[in-house]
Structure 1
């Protein structure tokens, strides 16, 4: 039987008074202190990168987690030229364990942009076999079982989503984790033999949030609850102010192995 680790997290408002020292401050979006001109230059560079990708490839795909960074790219694509909007299709991996707030973003995007993000779901039989053999939350038991779950719920659906793609994009940034410190703008996805682009590789967290605010982009409600990085519900928690932005992802594991398999090259290189 899987045992869920006990994690010391801030209690709910009814459990701990707001002024209590036992309730540490949670992460909040950083304030941008740069100039408007600098931000506009970053935005222009992003638009150029996306247009260049769309012009080079016929079947580029963008994998969106529906969190902050990915909403920046989604907004840039959907407010871009008709060629850009048609050239880079946006999809998400509906793992079956996402937060309700994350799923709600699909309707938010449709209402805001008139665009329906394509969903790729895991193979139901593979999920059933994993749960029957290991338990619903067996991913807490070992890195191997966690990666097996990610493989079923995320990697295999990603493979289907990219089966006919000639390039794909992510919302990764170098600042996010030690496994992403050397993240390039363009790399080769060794598993699939196609180019992989990280258009926000050189963006700071503050720049991401400045963009979202500047363009009134829809954002996941979990960000206001202390979640800077969002994945599946049982594998993501809020983080305290000052913690690493990905500290809430697979928090029971070493920070050096926090990749789900979608970006395995980050660990190998």
Structure 2
């Protein structure tokens, strides 16, 4: 069954939530003119945000992290965005020497061996490139939603990050049904892996399909304790050095 058929539902207040998300983005773009970027994961929520940016001609740059471990289906969305919306997507990759050193030292399956090693891998492949992506920016936009997990249940529409930038979460109050109703209504491109019961998609070794009744992010780092399921991108004070370990999320 397709993700649209499975999840898309029109619910009360949808139009108001869309209008509010647009207002958040418009205000953010005005307040941080020339210094704001959408850090897209290329997931369903972020594809909605990219569509809103393009649909309303908002001056918000679009960028993504290509970790070197993404599914081919995820990477294929980059040219689709550029072709569909006429937007350039800036791609940030990890430092190759850091990746080579990590794999040579710990092996290509290190993420399964310990939380510390998995988070070192995330630091190299995600946090260090993110730091470069956001260098010079005063604000960034994410697809975080309160419904995604218990650790995200109080996500605000905007919040300061640990570097003094403002992080905007325009879909904070959207449901999963809202996301897919918007995608269906506006024919937004999306990752076909969502049709294979992968609501949350990250690097290929760290993503699996979920079963009926499992939490939204159960398919991410499924071998770890539920409280550890963040890579550090949305954890304040997470170190970005390719050689440092990431502390437990708060």
Matched, 1:60 2:36: yes
**Residues 231-265 of structure 1: CA distance to partner in whole angstroms, max 9, x if unpaired?**
00010001112211110001101111110010113
Instruction: Give, in whole Å, the separation in 2 of the partners of 1:255 and 1:143.
Output: 12
Do the aligned partners of 1:26 and 1:240 also contact (CA within 8 Å) in 2?
A: no
Do the aligned partners of 1:60 and 1:166 also contact (CA within 8 Å) in 2?
A: yes
Q: Root-mean-square deviation (CA), in Å?
A: 1.8
TM-score, normalised with respect to structure 1: 0.85
Are the structure 2 counterparts of residues 26 and 112 from structure 1 closer, same or farther at C-alpha, using a change threshold of 3 Å?
A: closer
Instruction: Give, in whole Å, the separation in 2 of the partners of 1:225 and 1:268.
Output: 28
Runs of 5+ unmatched residues, structure 1: 1-24
SS across alignment from 1:196: strand
Do the aligned partners of 1:29 and 1:206 also contact (CA within 8 Å) in 2?
A: no
Instruction: Give, in whole Å, the separation in 1 of the partners of 2:172 and 2:53.
Output: 17
Runs of 4+ in 1 over 3 A off after TM superposition: 25-29, 265-269
1:208 corresponds to: 179
1:34 corresponds to: 11
SS across alignment from 1:168: strand
Runs of 5+ unmatched residues, structure 2: 238-247
Are the structure 2 counterparts of residues 50 and 148 from structure 1 closer, same or farther at C-alpha, using a change threshold of 3 Å?
A: same
**Residues 157-187 of structure 1: CA distance to partner in whole angstroms, max 9, x if unpaired?**
0000001101111101011011111111111
Do the aligned partners of 1:26 and 1:238 also contact (CA within 8 Å) in 2?
A: no
Q: Report the CA distance between 1:110 and its aligned residue.
A: 1.6
1:187 corresponds to: 159
2:52 corresponds to: 76
SS across alignment from 1:265: coil
Whose Rg is larger? 1
Do the aligned partners of 2:228 and 2:249 also contact (CA within 8 Å) in 1?
A: no
Instruction: Give, in whole Å, the separation in 1 of the partners of 2:108 and 2:141.
Output: 31
SS across alignment from 2:140: strand
SS across alignment from 1:42: helix
TM-score, normalised with respect to structure 2: 0.91
2:132 corresponds to: 160
1:228 corresponds to: 199
Q: Report the CA distance between 1:268 and its aligned residue.
A: 5.2
